[in-house]
């Protein structure tokens, strides 16, 4: 067991040195965004919305619901795959003919930058607004909508 662990550690270290950092971090970041899709639910909401718009509201609650779950699970699986294979090439997104590489949102909601002291220019006022829970639609509370 000890020999297997040291060999695995050597392979991981050699793989990280053999690959470049920029492509690895892009693939790892894309994998993180896709792996947490099951928590975020953007693909599910977008699929339900698109089914309601292009098919009918009846399809949104039946076919759109099942299609949204399928697309969410597919994006989560691709994210886990990209997390595990981040140090190894190829670094291009996978399954781009079925899913977009980045996170998707419904057309009726597009999030902005959080109102935080890191991004805000109102640090001298002593307060700022922001999304209360940015992952949940309808939780927008903004004092200054400058961004």
Q: Supply the pLDDT for residue 64.
A: 92
Q: Are residues 44 and 3 in the same domain?
A: yes
What does 2-19 look like in DSSP terms, one character per residue? HHHHHHHHHHHHHHHHHS
List the domain range (segments joined by +) for residue 147.
112-147
Q: Are residues 74 and 139 in the same domain?
A: no
Residue 101 lies in a domain: no
Query: To which residue do tokens 């981040």 refer?
Result: 86
> What are the per-10-residue average pLDDT scores of the chain (147 residues)?
72 67 85 91 91 89 93 94 88 86 82 66 55 61 54
Report how far apart, in Å, the C-alpha atoms of 35 and of each of 53, 65, 71, 75, 108 are: 27, 20, 12, 7, 23
Q: Which long-range contacts (CB under 8 A, 24 or more apart) does 35-39 make?
A: 35/76, 35/79, 35/80, 35/82, 35/83, 36/76, 36/79, 37/72, 37/75, 37/76, 37/79, 37/103, 38/72, 38/73, 38/76, 39/135
Residue 29 lies in a domain: yes
Q: Are residues 19 and 74 in the same domain?
A: yes
Residue 147 lies in a domain: yes
Residue 79 lies in a domain: yes
Start-to-end Cα distance in the chain? 54
Residue 139 lies in a domain: yes
Q: Are residues 70 and 139 in the same domain?
A: no
pTM above 0.75? Answer: no
Q: Supply the pLDDT for residue 5.
A: 72
The number of distinct structural domains making up the chain is 2
Q: Are residues 89 and 52 in the same domain?
A: yes
Q: Are residues 20 and 63 in the same domain?
A: yes
Give the C-alpha separation, 112 to 109, whole Å: 10
Q: Supply the pLDDT for residue 71.
A: 94
Q: Supply the pLDDT for residue 76.
A: 94
Residue 80 lies in a domain: yes
CA 46, chain centre distance (Å): 13
Q: Supply the pLDDT for residue 100.
A: 85
Q: Are residues 63 and 133 in the same domain?
A: no
What does 95-125 look like in DSSP terms, one character per residue? -TTTS-SS----TT--------TTT-S-TTT
Q: Supply the pLDDT for residue 68.
A: 94
Q: Are residues 118 and 49 in the same domain?
A: no
């Amino acid at each position: 067991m000890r020999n297997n662990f040291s060999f695995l550690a050597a392979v991981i270290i050699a793989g990280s040195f053999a690959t470049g950092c920029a492509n690895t971090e892009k693939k790892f970041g894309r994998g993180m965004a896709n792996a947490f899709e099951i928590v975020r639910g953007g693909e599910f909401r977008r699929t339900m919305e698109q089914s309601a718009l292009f098919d009918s509201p009846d399809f949104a609650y039946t076919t759109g619901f099942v299609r949204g779950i399928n697309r969410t699970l597919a994006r989560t699986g691709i994210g886990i795959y990209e997390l595990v294979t981040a140090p190894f090439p190829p670094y291009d997104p996978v399954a781009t003919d079925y899913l977009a590489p980045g996170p998707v949102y419904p057309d009726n909601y597009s999030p902005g930058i959080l109102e935080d002291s890191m991004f805000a220019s109102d640090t001298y006022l002593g307060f700022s607004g922001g999304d209360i829970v940015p992952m949940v639609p309808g939780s927008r509370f903004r004092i200054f909508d400058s961004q």
